[in-house]
Amino acid sequence: MCILQIYFLKGVIYMNTTTEKKKFVTRDVMVIAAMMVLTFAVYGAVGTLTLPFPFFYLYLAAGIQEFFCATFYLVVANRLNKHGILLIWSTVFGIISALGGYVFLLPYFLLVGVLCELVMLGKDSYRKPLRNAIGWSCYGLGMIIGNAVPIWAAWESYVAKASTEGFSKEVFDMQLGMLSNPWHMIGACAITVVLALLGCLFGQRILKRHFQKAGIVK
C-alpha cells in the first residue's frame, strides 16, 4: 500500500511539474510575440514618419528604431537566455520584408542573424548587459547596411516596388550617394551603433524598474 501511495504521489508531482512547464512555455511565447509585435510596430511607425525626410530616413531611422526597440529585445533576451533569439528576430524581419515584395532581403537578414549569434556565443550571454549591447548593436549595423543590399542585389526591382510605397526620387538619389561615399556610410553606421547602445542602457533601466518587478524577467 505504501509503495502504491509513493508511486501515486510521484505521478501527481510529475503532472503538476509538467503543467507548470507548459504554462511557463505558453507565457514565454506570449511575451515574445508581444515584444516582436511592438518592435515591428515601432519599425513601421519610424519608417513612415521619417520617409518624407530622406536624410532622417536613411541616416537616423535605423538608429531610432534600435533605440526604442532595445527594451523589447532585452525583455526577450533576459527571459529566455537562449541562443537563437537574434537569429529569430532577424529572420522574422527578413520574412516580413520578403512578404512585402523585397524577397532578396530574406537571405541577407538570415546572414545578419547568424553573425549576431556568433557574437553572442557563450554561457548566459543573453543575460549580460554588455553582451546584449554588443549583440543588439551588431543587429542595428545589419539594419543600416541593409540599405546597400538593393544596389547589390536588385536595384531596378527595388526602385519599382519602393516607388509604389511613397519613396521619392530624392530618397533613391541620397541612398546612392550615401553608399557611393564610404564616409557617409561610416557615419550612418556610427549613428546607428551609438543609438543602439544608448537604447540598451535605457532599456536595462526599464527592465529593472518595471519588468523585473512584474516578474516578467529575472
Per-domain residue ranges of the chain? 2-211
The confidence score (pLDDT) of residue 210 equals 67
In angstroms, the CA 175 to CA 147 distance is 7
When pLDDT is averaged across residues 100-122 and rounded to a whole number, the result is: 91
Q: Return the C-alpha cell found at 68.
A: 526604442
The confidence score (pLDDT) of residue 172 equals 80
Bigger pLDDT: 39 vs 14: 39
pLDDT in tens, 135-180: 999 999 999 988 778 777 777 777 777 777 777 788 888 888 887 8
Bigger pLDDT: 35 vs 199: 199
Bigger pLDDT: 165 vs 194: 194
Q: Return the C-alpha cell found at 155.
A: 536595384
Bigger pLDDT: 5 vs 30: 30
User: Is residue 129 predicted with pLDDT exceeding 70?
Assistant: yes
| 187 to 60, 78, 209: CA distances (angstroms) | 10, 31, 33
Task: Report the amino acid identity of residue 97.
Answer: S
Per-chain mean pLDDT for the chain: 81
Which residues make Cβ contacts (< 8 Å) with residue 142, sequence separation at least 6?
90, 109, 112, 115, 116
Which residues make Cβ contacts (< 8 Å) with residue 73, sequence separation at least 6?
35, 39, 85, 89, 132, 136, 139, 203
Rounded to an integer, what is the distance from CA 148 to the centroid of its chain? 19
Instruction: Give the residue from 79, 71, 82 showing the smallest Cα distance to 28.
Output: 79
When pLDDT is averaged across residues 10-24 and rounded to a whole number, the result is: 39
The confidence score (pLDDT) of residue 181 equals 84
- Give me the percent of the chain exceeding a pLDDT of 90: 36
Contact between residue 184 and residue 144 where contact means Cβ atoms under 8 Å apart: no
The confidence score (pLDDT) of residue 175 equals 81
3-state secondary structure of 123: coil
Category of 101 on φ-ψ map: left (φ > 0), alpha (ψ -120 to 50) or beta: left
When pLDDT is averaged across residues 97-112 and rounded to a whole number, the result is: 89
Contact between residue 39 and residue 73 where contact means Cβ atoms under 8 Å apart: yes
pLDDT in tens, 52-89: 888 898 899 999 999 999 999 999 898 888 888 899 88
Bigger pLDDT: 120 vs 10: 120
Task: Report the amino acid identity of residue 211.
Answer: F
User: Is residue 11 predicted with pLDDT exceeding 70?
Assistant: no
